[in-house]
């Protein structure tokens, strides 16, 4: 009888150990899934970062061209106004 109680306690402890191991496997599976998800998100963020860098370069180039065209436009308007007032007989 004493040995039966002892075996019952050992069996109960083994059951708890099996439950703990199954929970540990479940947690490890979730961690693996989260790591894969994080790697995917990192790749996507890197892709977005590269696209933003390219867009930034394009905007800087376009801004330089726009600045030159704006200055040329001001020069043309200034010349036109100067020509108008130079030839105005009012």
pLDDT by 10s per residue, the chain, length 90: 788 889 889 999 999 999 999 999 999 999 999 999 999 999 999 999 999 999 999 999 888 888 999 999 999 999 999 999 988 875
The pTM of this model reads 0.54
pLDDT of residue 89: 73
Q: Report how far residue 45's alpha carbon sits from residue 51's, in angstroms, rounded to the nearest whole number.
A: 10
pLDDT of residue 36: 97
* Residue found by looking up tokens 């892709």 in the block: 47
Q: Report how far residue 66's alpha carbon sits from residue 72's, in angstroms, rounded to the nearest whole number.
A: 10
Q: Report how far residue 90's alpha carbon sits from residue 88's, in angstroms, rounded to the nearest whole number.
A: 6
């Amino acid at each position: 009888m004493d040995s039966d109680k002892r075996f019952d306690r050992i069996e109960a402890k083994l059951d708890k150990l099996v439950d703990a191991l199954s929970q540990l496997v479940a947690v490890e599976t979730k961690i693996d899934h989260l790591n894969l998800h994080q790697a995917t998100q990192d790749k996507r963020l890197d892709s977005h970062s590269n696209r933003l860098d390219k867009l930034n370069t394009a905007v800087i180039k376009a801004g330089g061209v726009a600045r030159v065209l704006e200055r040329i436009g001001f020069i043309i308007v200034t010349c036109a106004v100067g020509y108008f007032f130079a030839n105005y007989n009012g």
